């Protein structure tokens, strides 16, 4: 197995150990994903609501923009959580560095946690949104119906954007942590 592969395995193991710490980022990402999928699944109804206000196309675009923005807000919590993780594991990172583990596998190990948190959050949020959409469609509460293609696009966008955004926002703190001289990590880490 390559060094990065070993790093990923190490990351999965440490993520399992720290799953309790990931509840908040998972919840915030799930909330963002839920809203985005619901918005896209119920696009027809929202378009009708937007038409009543005038400027239907602009309002529809604004709704998608805000849905994606709220998803990103949820994902930022994943990155904040990563900074917390990195701070907690400073000494562990120092040990890894001191024993000669190069930077790429360490960064890969640290990025597993935000990736898993964001994907789990997005999948939970998207699943809840699909269930909500199906229930609303079945009970007739969504008068304009539920769009299957909109739901599928919503799920894909929610999971894809969450994972990418989590990696993009987490890469800097993990890179900085993995780049610290081991002696500093070992002497100052909590």
Partner 1 sequence: MAVTAVEPAVSTPRPPPLHADATGARNSTVVRLLRFALANVRRRPERFVLSTLGIALAIMAVTVVRTISSSFAITGEETVTTVLQDAPLWVVPAAGVHYDSDVEAIVADGPAPDLTVPAGWTASRTVTALWDSDAGELPVYGSDAVPDGTAVLGATAADRLGVAAGDPVTVGGTDLQVSVDGEGTVLRVPEAVAADLGGDTGWWTVSPPAGDADRNDLGPLLADATGLPTTTDPGVQPSGEALVYDTVGGSGAVTFQQKFSALFSGQVTSSALGLISTIGLVLGFIIAVSSFLAAVQERRREFGIMSSIGLADEVLYFFLVESALVFAAAYLLGITFAGIAVAAVIPAIATPVAWLQAAGTVAAYLPAMAIVGALVPVHRLLQQRPVQLLGADA
Residue 156 makes contact with partner 1 by CB under 8 A = no
3-state SS string over the chain? CCHHHHHHHHHHHHHHHCHHHHHHHHHHHHHHHHHHHHHHHCHHHHHHHHHHHCCHHHHHHHHHHHHHHHHHHHHHHHHHHHHHHHHHCHHHHHHHHHCCCCHHHHHHHHHHHHHHHHHHHHHHHHHHHHHHHHHHHHHCCCCCCCCHHHHHHHHHHHHHHHHHHHHHHHHHHHHHHHHCCHHHHHHHCC
Kindly state the smallest distance separating residue 186's Cβ from partner 1, in Å: 15
Residues 5-34 that bind partner 1 (CB under 8 A): 24, 28, 31-32
Q: Is residue 76 involved in binding partner 1 (CB under 8 A)?
A: yes
Task: Please report whether residue 39 would count as binding partner 1 according to CB under 8 A.
Answer: yes
Count the site residues for partner 1 by CB under 8 A: 40
Does position 53 interact with partner 1 (CB under 8 A)? The reply is yes
The answer to the question of residue 184 lying near partner 1 (CB under 8 A) is: no
Q: How far is the CB of 18 from partner 1 (least distance, A)?
A: 14
What residue ranges bind partner 1 (CB under 8 A)?
24, 28, 31-32, 35, 39, 46, 49-55, 58-59, 61-63, 65-67, 69-70, 72-74, 76-77, 79-81, 83-84, 87, 169, 172-173, 176, 190
């Amino acid at each position: 197995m390559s060094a990065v592969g070993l790093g990923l395995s190490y990351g999965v193991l440490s993520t399992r150990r720290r799953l309790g710490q990931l509840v908040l980022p998972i919840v915030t990402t799930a909330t963002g994903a839920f809203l985005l999928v619901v918005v896209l699944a119920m696009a027809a109804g929202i378009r009708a609501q937007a038409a009543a206000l005038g400027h239907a196309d602009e309002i529809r675009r604004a709704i998608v923009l805000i849905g994606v923005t709220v998803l990103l807000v949820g994902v930022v919590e994943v990155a904040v959580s990563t900074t917390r993780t990195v701070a907690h594991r400073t000494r562990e990172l120092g040990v890894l560095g001191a024993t000669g583990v190069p930077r790429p596998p360490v960064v890969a190990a640290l990025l597993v946690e935000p990736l898993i948190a964001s994907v789990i959050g997005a999948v939970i949020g998207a699943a809840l949104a699909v269930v909500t959409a199906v229930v609303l469609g079945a009970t007739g509460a969504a008068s304009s119906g539920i769009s299957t293609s909109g739901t599928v696009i919503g799920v894909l966008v929610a999971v894809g954007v969450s994972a990418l955004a989590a990696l993009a926002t987490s890469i800097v703190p993990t890179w900085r942590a993995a780049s610290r001289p081991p002696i500093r990590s070992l002497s100052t880490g909590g």
